[in-house]
Structure 1
Amino acid sequence: MPTRRFFLAASLPTTLALTHGVGLAQDAGSFGSFLKGVKAEARRSGISATTVDRAFASVSGPNQKVLDRYRHQPEFTMTWARYRGLLVTDKRITDGRAAFAANRALFSRVEQQFGVAPGVISGIWGLESSFGTTMGDFHVIDALATLAWEGRRAAFFRGELMAALKILENGDVAPTGMMGSYAGAMGQPQFMPSSYLRYAVDLEGNGHRNIWTSKPDVLGSIANYLARSGWRSGGTWGQQVLLPAGFDPQGRDVKRSLGDWATAGIRPLAGRWVAPFDAASAIVAPDGADGEAFVVFANFAAIRRYNPSDFYAIAVGLIGDGITA
């Protein structure tokens, strides 16, 4: 969703076509005035002077690396086949199986508490941060201040900056430890600060919600996000199917029972159906009727609340299925 993060920009190849946004023409001298206003707003909202001073101690001007990344984002025009080839890899699934095996008891605890299956949690964990190994190397306050000043989405990034300051005020993380992407997505789940305030949990039980280094908090926070986004315990996201000749896939908004799709000649690609025939479902064919197709269920929508992309949601499902198979 647009209030959460940019669509996997850091995960996609730099060989894609680039957009060269112009943005608002601002001179670096205006950054000081902007920062003064931000600090005043933070103090009015109840953020202590100590927190404000610590948060902005190393922020003296706009971060050029952030601006370069933001203004030169790749266009997302690739096919599903290309996307799948880049992200749903044997290595990612192998790494995921190792991470799952090493944390099996924790995954079981998370599933018991939130009702969310290990597969989908693993899929998101793997796509967002390669199971905690690549969280981004930008200081979140620095990145958000730069983008709030830059101007094109000033209100959004200023709101996220204020949310980040609230996190610091709560003492969950120090400014130096609040690391993330160039767009402010934080920690292993890559939550934007506002999402952190809504969904992050302290599963470790130490009084802090730590999505950077605490695996219980990381996995619990992903599960909480999905649970509060409508994930149905015991259900699945979907499965790959074969379409009959001439079938017109109409997308996720056209829902029928799984039995109706089976009657229309749709078949599972391998094995058996993963849901009962009365389950409401839709047919998604990301590259059209001649490409791969999937039947998706209600839990598919919960994944899309995390990231509003059919590509992303299918990739999460496939990676998770591969890890827990």
Structure 2
Amino acid sequence: MKISHKLPAVLALLLCAAPARADFASCLAGLRHAAAGAGVSQRVIDGATNGLEPNDAPSFMDKQPEFKTPIWDYIAGLVDEERVEEGRAMMRRHASALLAAEQRYGVDPATVVAVWGVESDFGKNFGKRSVVQSLATLVCEAPRRNDYFKGEFIAALRILQSGDIAPEEFMGSWAGAFGHTQFMPSTFLSTAVDLDGDGRRNIASSAADSLGSTANFLRKAGWRPGLRWGFEVSVPSGYSGPSGRTSRQPMSVWASRGITRLDGGGLGEGQAALLLPAGRNGPAFLVTHNFDAIYSYNAAESYALAIAVLSDRLRGRPGIQAPWPTDDPGLSRSERREMQALLNRQGYAVGDPDGVIGTKTKEALADFQGRAGLKADGRAGKKTLDALRVR
């Protein structure tokens, strides 16, 4: 028999894999015991966890785009003409549910639909991972936040026990968020509502339940009916005063510092904070208490701003007017699809153009950029698209 020189490496992998599987199994046994102690039936525990293996969820913990992506790229991909047009269509299609949600919770349709658009592209992108599997993996194999994910794991099993969500529907993001507006399990238990009246709080298959649940979440986060989230402003050159989402002051104070609305109107009454998401050379906004309510959905200013600006676009207001401090603006999703098609034409195998800048697209971009004399960072920006268009 010929002995392969690769055998020691294979044995090493097997030896490493066995303890890892044993550690996961041991951890999962502890999670099963904790769920039983929290009142989850053995039938539900067994149905959700028998044969469960870890997935790739921990690899995404430090890759959230709202923290890693330049804000001009982030906003360009989330607030584009496609999403605005589809959002307006969704407001018409679900007008009765949105009206019921507004009457019950005081949150206007444009804001609720903007959350829906950013969270799942109006139900087209729920995530493809098992919620229970992702949460178990994060508890057992992630380096931090174990207690948080343990609570979410138990909450997920309680949802299955309630019958609100069927096991085959219980799919979501790497972090365990699921449904049209991507609730974490504990948020679902405390906030989800049965707006369509069928006896189930089903944010996975009922758009009405999802819209009502989102309105309820924002109400609980302190949403004030009739109050704008904020508006874009002009800041005097050389401004050195306070800024930041938590530095809220009376509008009169901001006016005394020379801050004005872009549309020439008065700042109004109440309090607001000055938000400078790209520093003092980029767009500026005065944001109110309702911006904080949106921020509570996902604690990132870029995320909250995307929802706020999208909600304005859905109302027929303009988007961000001041330019971002960059000479290489971000791309809309249609432009990203065009970029991928042009990369394919150049001989790069990036797959069907879908507007998602994944690993294959980034690698192809970096190679093309190097050949074209651009910064080879794999970023999908206007300069690279322009270079592809002339090839």
Give the TM-score normalised by the residue count of structure 2: 0.72
Corresponding residue of 1:211: 203
Among candidates 180, 184, 191, match of residue 172 of structure 2? 180
Q: CA deviation at 1:74?
A: 6.3
Among candidates 92, 99, 107, match of residue 116 of structure 1? 107
Q: Which amino acid aligns with 2:38?
A: S
More moved, 74-83 vs 207-216 = 74-83
Matched pairs, number? 297
Q: Which amino acid aligns with 2:101?
A: V
C-alpha distance in 2 between matches for 1:55 and 1:309: 32
Report Cα offsets for 1:266-312 as digits up to 9, x if no partner: 22223645x7x221111111111110000111111111111111111
Report Cα offsets for 1:10-41 as digits up to 9, x if no partner: xxxxxxxxxxxxxxx96112222222222222
Is the radius of gyration larger for structure 1 or structure 2?
2
Aligned pairs for 1:63-212 (under 5 A) are 63=55, 65-70=56-61, 76-152=67-143, 153-212=145-204
C-alpha distance in 2 between matches for 1:281 and 1:132: 33
Among candidates 27, 33, 51, match of residue 26 of structure 2? 33
Between the two structures, name the one with larger relative contact order (CA 8 Å, sep ≥ 6): 1
Q: RMSD of the alignment, in Å?
A: 2.0
Question: What SS is found at the alignment partner of 1:253?
Answer: coil
Q: For structure 2, list consecutive stretches of 5 or more residues without a partner in the other structure.
A: 1-17, 317-391
CA contact (8 A) 1:283 1:295 kept: yes
Report Cα offsets for 1:93-123 as digits up to 9, x if no partner: 1111111121122211111110011121111
Q: Which amino acid aligns with 1:282?
A: A
CA contact (8 A) 1:173 1:210 kept: yes
Corresponding residue of 2:224: 232
C-alpha distance in 1 between matches for 2:284 and 2:150: 40
CA contact (8 A) 2:221 2:293 kept: yes
CA contact (8 A) 1:145 1:158 kept: yes
CA contact (8 A) 2:66 2:302 kept: no
Corresponding residue of 1:317: 308
C-alpha distance in 1 between matches for 2:45 and 2:184: 19
C-alpha distance in 2 between matches for 1:75 and 1:26: 35
CA contact (8 A) 1:129 1:188 kept: yes
CA contact (8 A) 1:144 1:161 kept: yes
CA contact (8 A) 2:66 2:303 kept: no
Q: CA deviation at 1:324?
A: 2.1
Corresponding residue of 1:3: none
Corresponding residue of 1:251: 244
CA contact (8 A) 1:172 1:210 kept: yes
CA contact (8 A) 1:300 1:313 kept: yes
CA contact (8 A) 1:118 1:324 kept: no
1:130 to 1:30, Cα distance in 2 relative to 1, 3 A: same
CA contact (8 A) 2:273 2:287 kept: yes
Q: For structure 1, list consecutive stretches of 5 or more residues without a partner in the other structure.
A: 1-24
